[in-house]
Structure formats: structure tokens, C-alpha cells
Chain A
Amino acid sequence: MTQEVENLIKKDYAAGFHTAIESDTLPPGLNEDVVRFISAKKEEPEWMLEWRLKAYRAWLEMKEPTWAEVQYPEIDFQAISYYSAPKSMADRPQSLDEVDPELLATYEKLGIPLHEQEMLAGVAVDAVFDSVSVVTTFRAKLEEAGVIFCPISEAVRRFPELVKKYLGTVVPQKDNYYAALNSAVFSDGSFVYIPKGVRCPMELSTYFRINEMNTGQFERTLIIADEGSHVSYLEGCTAPQRDENQLHAAVVELIALDNAQIKYSTVQNWYPGDAEGKGGIYNFVTKRGVAHTNAKISWTQVETGSAVTWKYPSCILKGDNSVGEFYSVALTNNFQQADTGTKMIHLGKNTRSTIVAKGISAGRSNSSYRGLVRINPGAEGARNYTQCDSLLIGDRCGAHTFPYIESKNPSAVIEHEATTSKVSDDQLFLCQQRGLDAEKAVSMIVNGFCREVFKELPMEFAVEAGKLLEVSLEGSVG
């Protein structure tokens, strides 16, 4: 291995820094009072508190799932602080000028275009800094179109009837261990409502950032696309470097009513831990969408961060002719572990789903694809196509595939295909022979391997994703 590569391996996480901002943080621990405190802090109505408490009580009786192909030390849920808000929240900034300059500097380092975002590609940013949404832009323009895009805590106060009607309908409080925990203590997140027949005038985007020491971040996202509407939502995140493991348990619910379309894209680049596997984020996420008649839900994700990823964005294809898509790239390096995939539950007639999952393992990491395709008896004419490919770089990593395929309808057609191989020596040789160094060549081959997924990403993300892979793979070829 050359000295250069050696240096690259040792390179610290580029987005790893910690901003010192005073925050209003709850001491570690979880009990009913904590749930009440969070609810009170958010000035939530009584029904919301009840909803949270119901989830909390259910959570107490649930067990942490162990079936995933991941190993991590036991999480002490009493050692986590469940609420933290940037202090300057008290006097809410009215414009960007009033925002804590240190906060702005943080965004600057991350490259979040908060300052120039009005210029940039029509992206509205609802930046979640720790648990409270600090600033929301483009609100006016969105409101003109009738689109509601606001922090969920605000939605609970301003649009209780919408929240009440849809919250927990896709991911019920008792759905799984982490969903129950999230339901009890979720701090904030985004709420989107697209009215009937409206095509959202811009791509909606939220940047998440975990900042406070030892704070679990529990976002809750609820997106409702009313009949005939269309929305594309972007989510991306990075986190500062530190040694203690941080827990992240988000819940995302998508509701696509008749003829609506939701496109949900994620680029996840949380701190993956250092080269010894120390530190890193635990990412236990429940994402699920319901597609009604003729509706379409599309998940695209690029997962390069987190020490442990446990994530299965799913589609319930409830209405006839509804469509579900899942495009994923999961890259693991060093000691990262990713158990990710999707569920496609076909209920309606002529429902269609496509799954393209690409896994890349390097170093001593493990990545698994775990998917379920279920065709219920009523899903006449359902169609599924699944392709999962794994690429191995180095002989100490692992790549696994666990596809569950269940069909109860004879008219359904299901195809599943999976391959695992390493970067071919021939391809590498060809590139090198044309003057590319090994690292560049591998990066190019990997980018090609992921192309099918990248082309599904919105423009800005696609560029970022390619870069991210390059950075994440640095030092894995020698």
C-alpha cells in the first residue's frame, strides 16, 4: 500500500466536528414524566400526550429485536437523554440574520445551502438542528401552492385533524420496538401535506443533524399526498465525530392517496465509527408508505454512514394498480454493519413493485439485504422484480442476502435475482492500463455498479452520492 493510500485511510471523518452551543437538555433516563415533559415542551394537546403514553406503555412490554444480522453492545435506554433543543430557541429567530452564527457556521461546514438556498435549485430547507426545527424557508411560496411543510410539532398544533387522522396509521405505535420508542418520545420532524391535484412546486428537503452529546434523535416524518398530487422529498444527514454510540430511531410514514405520487430520497452519511469500529451512530429506522389506487411510492436511498443500520423502507400496495419502488445503495467499510432492504406487500390488483438493491462491503464490514415480497390472495396480476447485487472489496468483509418471497396468487409473477462478486481483476486491469490508479478505478467501477440507483436520485443528490461513495471507499483498496 502506498503512503498516500495509508494517509487516506487514516483521514478523519470530514464532517466530524462538534459545535458548542448551549442547549436545554433533559437529564438521561426515560419514564412517563419524560414523555410528559416532551409533550409539554412542545405545547401539545391532550390527545397527543395520550398517544405518546400509549406508545410508551406498549414499548415497556416489548423486546428489542435480535433477528437482524448485526451485533452491537446492549443499549442502555436509561442512559440516553430524550430531549435537547438549541438554547437560542427561546427567542426564535425571525430571519437568517438572527440565527446563532455558530449554527450557521455548522451548516456552512456541512455545505447546507441555508444562506444561498433561495438561489439554489428551488430547494426549501427545514433544518432540524438536534430536536427543534430552527428555521424554515420558502414557506410562503409553498403556502401559495397550498402545500403544508412544517415541523411536525407545529402541525400537531395547527393541523390537529390531519395529524390525528394519519399519524400512526402506517406505522402503528406497537409496530416494532423502535417505532414504539419513537412514538413515545419523538422530538420533532417534518410534516408535509400536498392538497388534491397539486404538484409540489419544488423539491422538499430536510437536513438532519445530531449534535448534542448523548442525545438520541427521534424524528417523526409524516407525508400525506392527497388525491392526484405529487411530491419529491429529500433527506440527508451527517453527524459530528465522537466516541459514544448514538441512537437514532426515526419513523417515516408516507400516505399516497388515489393517483398520488411520493418520491422519497435519502442520503445517509452519519458518523460510521472510526477504523477500529469505535463509536458511530446506531440507526434503527422504520419507514413505510401506503399506496392507494393508482398511487406510486418510490424510495431511493444511499446509505454510507452509521455503525449499525437497521432499515427497511416498505410499501403497502393497498390500492389497485399501485406501484412501489425501492432503489438502494448500501456501502459499508471498516466495522460498519448494515441490515437493510424492503418489504413490498401486494394487496391490490395489478400492483407492481421493483426492487434494486446494491450492497458494497469493504474492510471488515457486513452488509445484508433482507427483503420481503408478499403477494396476498387478492393481488390479481401482481408483478415484482427484484435484483440485489453485492460487491465485495477485501476478504474480511461479508455480504448476505435474505429475500423472503411469499405468493398466494397464481396470476402473480415474481422474479428475484441476486449475485455476489468482487471487483473483477479484468476491469481493474483495463482501467489501470489506461492510466487510472487503482483507487480511481475501483471508485469508477463502484459508481458504475450503483448507476441504476443513482439515476433515480434528484440531481443534487446524485452528485453528492457519487462523491460520498468515493470518500467512504477511500483506503479500502491497496
Chain B
Amino acid sequence: MSDFQQQALTLAAEQRSPEWLAELRARGADVWSAAAWPTRKTEQWKYTPLLALQNDNPARWPSTDSCAWQQAIDPIELDATRLVFVNGHFCPEHSSELPAGVVRFAEADAGQRELIARHLGTVIDTSRHLFGALSDAWTADGILLHVPRGQVLDKPVYILNVATPEAQPAASNQRVLVVLEDNSQAELIEHYVSGSEQQNLFVNSHTEVIVGNNAQIQHYRINLEQEDLLHVGGVHVDLHRDARFLGFTLAQGSRLKRIDYHVNHRGEGAHLGLNGVYLPRNKQLIDYHTNVEHRVPHCTTDEVFRGIIGDSAKAVFNGRIHIHPHAQKTLAELSNRNLLTSPTAEINTKPELEIYADDVRCAHGATIAQLDETSVFYLQSRGVTRAEAVRMLSFGFINELLNQVPEQAIQDYLRPRLTALFGQQGGELGQMSYD
């Protein structure tokens, strides 16, 4: 067992947790302590060293129990049920009143406890997701979003996770469980954000989503924590008959971000639509691993990830589509496109197809390139400066996905931020490869 694994168990022992979560925690701790620590030889972590985590050694829970934050952090402006956490600590003063069906584990009533106990930990495959096991071991609190049969949640649920500076390296855990019963519908926004100061935080965040027959979830995961924060997280989804998971994810900033999407098609006619954007800069590393398990026939997957990698940043993308035997009539498509904008940037991409059924249509594509020289020239010929042209085209590359985001408030929140981001990058881009 590595030092960090040991340390994490000590941390788990320090937590106060309700008795009814004990079994899950024990199970998680067992898997966690038995697992081999990932190295470069571990396929899932081949390009993503966890050295930073070992070195930082977050050996305590956050000391913050105030809900104040120093720097200006704007939440997304939308009419939603809002839950705010600061370094994992729940802040009722910033949060809305919770409607029926949204509850913190700590305040769950007997019926809800039973529901949580029945579903929590059933979607995460901890043998594949080591940090999912850690999340089990660390779960003392969390959020349940439960929509009963045939109901539509009238407002989106917006979970804002703010990271603020810690004096000593600390760890925080976030766990979300979504249970959508048959024919129900909901929208969930998970937003991770911080100021630009030194946070000293390791965040382990996992979301489990169970989508019942003919139910639908619109899911967002926006990871915008800035420098010096380590984030490992995952979204684990079970889709039943004709269920739909429509997801959008964006990651930018921080030393290490590793996000897994693991989707199981368990009922016929299920659909996954997932768009993702990653924009690492400086010395950041962003790693997206997606894994879609087509276990039954007649399901569809449509996945698009795009990235722009600048400075000395590194991005990793691994998109696996696994078609099980008998999962006939599957349609699955995956596209991954990357722009490298600096001589020291790096991208490692691996779209994988594993197919055991014959009557399927599966395709994946991956490209790595720069901006199209003729497009830049065209804009220049119309009087746009080179730097501005590069900025426009880079933003356009991402904007295609942003335009597809159904929630207008999220578009409005992200668009100026991304424009600003490319604005800073534009000059450097222009100099780099076009002069």
C-alpha cells in the first residue's frame, strides 16, 4: 500500500459518519487498500502520474468551516435549487431551500436512507475506478436527488463546489446520487470553481446516476478550479430502457484533473449524448477517460470531445466503447479533436473500440492539428489581425459544442470566460506558428 493509500484510510477513520453508511465505507476501504497504486504501467493511468498527490500528501480534512470566500467567485446565474459547498463543507446560508427529493445524506429521513442504502455504490465499478472506492470509503455525507415516477423536476439542481485556500494540504470528498424513476426528468449542474490563489486541496468527487425507463437527465459538469488543486472525479451512469443521459462537461485549470465518465447501457433503446471540452494551459494536466458499456441491443452513443492544449500543458483523452455480445443494432460514434498551440504542449489520445457483436455501426475518429492556415489567411484578407483571427478560430472550435448546450444560462456564463481565455492566449498563438 502506498503512503497515500494509508493516509486516506487514516482520514476515513477521523470522519464522523452515520451508522447506516458504515457498510459502504468498509467495502470501499477494503477495495482501496487492496488495490495496487497506479503507476505508468497501469493502463488507466499511463499518461497521468499521481506523483503530485503522493508529494502533496493531503493528510487532513479542510479546516474551513466558514462559508466565506476571499476572491470574487460568480455562480452561474440561473433559476435553480442551489446547494453550495466550500471545501466540502455545506453552506446553508448560500443555498436555497431544498425541494422534496433533494436532500443531504445527513438529513435524510428513513425512507430516503433506505433509498440511498439501496442504490449508493451500485453504479460505480470500484474494480475499475480506484478513486470510486476511495469515495465509498470517504462518504460521510452527500446529496441525493430523487425524482419519483412520472415527475419532472421543475427547477434544475445546481451544486456549486467552491475551493478556498487551505494552510496545509487537505482533502475533500463530494458524493452525489441521482435516482430518476421511470418517466421522470431532471437537470443537474455540478460546478467546481475556485479563485486563483493557492488552494492546497485534493478533491475526490463522484456522481452516480440511475436513469429509469424512459427517464431523462440533462447533466452538466463544469470544472473550473484554478491552479494548484488536484481533482479526481467520475460520473457513473446506469441507463435503463429508453433512458437518456445528455451530458456536457468542460474542464479548465488546475494542476491535475482526472474525470471519468462510465456509462452502462442496461436497457434497450437507451441513449447517451456527451459533449466535452478541455482547455489545459500552463503546466496543467487534464485527463478525460470515458467508457461506454453497450450491454444490450438497440442503444446509441454519440460522444464528442474537443481540446485546445497550450503552453506546457498536457491532455489525455481515452474514449472506450465496449459492445458486448448480443448488443446488436448498436450505433456508437466517438469523435475527439485536438488543437496543439505550443511547442511544449502534449496530447495523448486513445479512442478504443471493443466489439463483440456483428450487426453494429461503430466509428471513432481522432485528429490532432493546428488551426487551418487557409482559414486564418481568409480572415486576414478581410482585415482581421492574425492574433484576432487565431482567437476567433480557436473560440469557434469550442463554440460549436457550446452552442449545443441547451441551458442558456450556462452558455452565457461560459462564453465570456472562454473568450477572455483565448484573448490571453491569442497573441502567443499568433506568434507561435504563423509568423
Q: Could you list which residues of chain A lie within 8 angstroms of chain B, going by C-beta atoms?
A: 67, 375, 377, 390, 392-422
Contact = CB atoms under 8 A, between A and B. Distances in A.
A360 B376 CA distance: 42
Interface in B113-172: none
15 contacts: A377-B344, A395-B359, A403-B350, A405-B348, A406-B346, A408-B345, A410-B370, A411-B370, A415-B365, A416-B364, A417-B363, A418-B353, A420-B355, A420-B362, A421-B362
A402 B355 contact: no
B358 A393 contact: yes
Contacts of A420: 353, 355, 360-363
B334 to A, nearest CB: 9
A334 to B, nearest CB: 15
Given A408-B346, A414-B366, A418-B365, A401 B353 contact: yes
Given A403-B366, A420-B362, 8 more contacts: A395-B358, A401-B352, A408-B345, A408-B346, A410-B343, A416-B365, A417-B365, A420-B355
| Interface SS majority for chain A | strand
Contacts of B343: 377, 409-410
Contacts of A421: 360-362
B325 interface: yes
A406 B364 CA distance: 17
B421 interface: no
Given A395-B325, A395-B359, A418-B351, A407 B365 contact: no
B367 interface: yes
Nearest to A415: B367
Interface in B292-340: 325-326, 328, 338, 340
B368 A405 contact: yes
A395 B350 contact: no
B110 interface: no
Contacts of A401: 351-354, 364
A391 B47 CA distance: 31
Nearest to A391: B358
B216 interface: no
B414 interface: no
A395 B359 CA distance: 7
A419 B361 CA distance: 7
B45 to A, nearest CB: 14
Nearest to A425: B359
A410 B433 contact: yes
B356 interface: yes
A416 B356 CA distance: 22
B366 A390 contact: no
B352 A413 contact: no
Nearest to B327: A395
A400 B357 CA distance: 11
B106 to A, nearest CB: 44
A411 B368 CA distance: 9
A413 to B, nearest CB: 4
Contact of B353 (A400, A407, A409, A422): A400
A407 B355 contact: no
A414 B368 contact: yes
Contacts of B366: 403, 405, 414-416
A406 B357 contact: no
Contacts of A377: 343-344
A399 B355 contact: yes
Contact of A406 (B341, B342, B348): B348
A422 B344 CA distance: 42
A408 B353 CA distance: 24
A78 B95 CA distance: 70
Given A409-B340, A416-B365, A398 B351 contact: no
Nearest to A405: B349
B203 interface: no
A390 B338 CA distance: 25
Contacts of A397: 356, 358
